[in-house]
Amino acid sequence: MKILVTGGAGFVGFHLVDRLIGEGQRVVVIDNLSTGKKENLNPRSKFYKLDIRDPKISKVFQTEKPEIVFHFAAHIEARKSVENPISDADINILGSLNILENCRKYGVKKIIFASSGGEIYGNAKKIPTSEAYHPCPISPYGVGKLAVEKYLDAYSRLFKIPYVALRYGNIYGPRQNPYGEAGVVAIFTDKMLKNKQPLIHGSGKQTKDYVFVKDAIDAAILSFKKDFRGILNVGTGKETSVLKIFYLIKKLTNSNVKEKHILLPICSFKRGCLSISKAKKELNWKPKYDLYRGLEKTIDWFRVR
C-alpha cells in the first residue's frame, strides 16, 4: 500500500517508517525537520521537507495518492504549549486540519492519529484511566490533541473517513532525543551516562505510564490492519513514578548522581496510568516489554550511539 507518515523523521515516526517498509509497504514521509533528523529516514522512503501547515502538502497528496495516513507530526512539549498556546494550536490544530482536508479531498481510506493519553485525561480521578473517562486536559498541548480527535470524529461522520486515535502513554526507547523537554527516560539516561546532573521536577512522586517504542509501533501497525475505528489507549496499565525511573536508570548506568529537584511545571499532574483493556480486545495487542527490559534496551543504545 502507499502510506503517508507525517512526522516520519521524528522519534516515533522513524520507528514506524522502518517497520512499515520492513513489511513491504511504500512509504512517503512529510517532516519539517524542526525536531526530526534527515539521517533518521529510511532510504527506501520518499521524503518531502514540509511543515504540516504548508499549502504545498496538497501537491504531495495529489502526486503520491496515499491510501493510509499516519498523522504523527506535532509540537510535542506540553510546557512550551503553556508558554505559547497560540503557536501550539497553530501547529497541532490548524496543521492537523490541513492534513485532514487533504485526506478528504484525495480519498484517503484511513487515518491513524498519534494522540496523548498522557495529557488528555489530566488529573484523572480513576486510575488506570479508560477511554470512557471524561477528558480534562490541563495543558494547551492536551487540549489540542483532544480537539484533533473531535475533528477526526466529525470527518468520520461527515465524510466517511475511518480513523483511529491512539492515546499513547509516555513513549521511550532507542534514538529518542535527550535534549528537549519531553522524554524523561532519554534525558536521565543521557545525563547519567555522561555523569551530569539530571533534574527531577517536583517531588518526583508523580506517576506516568511509560510504554516502550516497539510496543507503541505494534499498536500503530495493528490499527491500520484491523477494522477498529475510534479511540484507544496505548500504554502498560502500570503507573511508574519519576523517582522510580531515576533510580532504575541510576542502577543500570552505574551512575553516582544524587537527587536534585526543581519546581514542578504548572501543567503537571499527580498520577497517570492508562487502562489498556480496550486495545487488548480490539487489536489483540498488549505490551511485550516491561519497564526494566525497555530501559535496558534504551540504555544499551545510548551507550554506543
Residues 106 and 52 in one domain: yes
Residue 250: CB partners within 8 Å, gap ≥ 6?
192, 257
In this structure, what DSSP letter does residue 234 have? E
**Tens digit of pLDDT at every position of the chain (305 positions):** 999 999 999 999 999 999 999 999 999 999 999 989 899 899 999 999 999 999 999 999 999 999 999 999 999 889 899 999 999 999 999 999 999 999 999 999 999 999 999 899 999 999 999 999 999 999 999 999 999 999 999 999 999 999 999 999 999 999 999 987 669 999 999 999 999 999 999 999 999 999 999 999 999 999 999 999 999 999 999 999 999 999 999 999 999 999 999 999 898 999 999 999 999 999 999 999 999 999 999 999 999 88
* Residue 254, pLDDT score: 96
Regarding whether 254 and 147 lie in a shared domain, the answer is no
What separation in angstroms does the CA of 131 have from each of 168, 170, 267?
11, 16, 21
Same domain, 258 and 118: no
- Asked if 149 and 249 sit in the same domain, the reply is no
What is the DSSP-derived secondary structure letter of residue 94? I
Question: In this structure, are 47 and 128 located in the same domain?
Answer: yes
Number of domains in the chain: 2
What pLDDT is stored for residue 77 in this prediction?
87
* Max Cα distance, the chain (Å): 57
pLDDT on residue 181? 65
Q: Which residues pair with 4 in a beta bridge?
A: 28, 69
Q: Are 166 and 145 in contact (CB under 8 A)?
A: no
141 belongs to the catalytic site: yes
CATH number where 124 lies = 3.40.50.720
| β-strands 207-208, 240-241 pairing | antiparallel
| Domain residue limits at 294 | 172-207+238-273+288-304
Residue 298 maps to which CATH number? 3.90.25.10
Which residue in 133, 141, 168, 210 is the catalytic one?
A: 141
Output DSSP code: residue 130.
Answer: P
Co-location of 265 and 121 in the same domain: no
**Does the predicted model carry a pTM greater than 0.85?**
yes
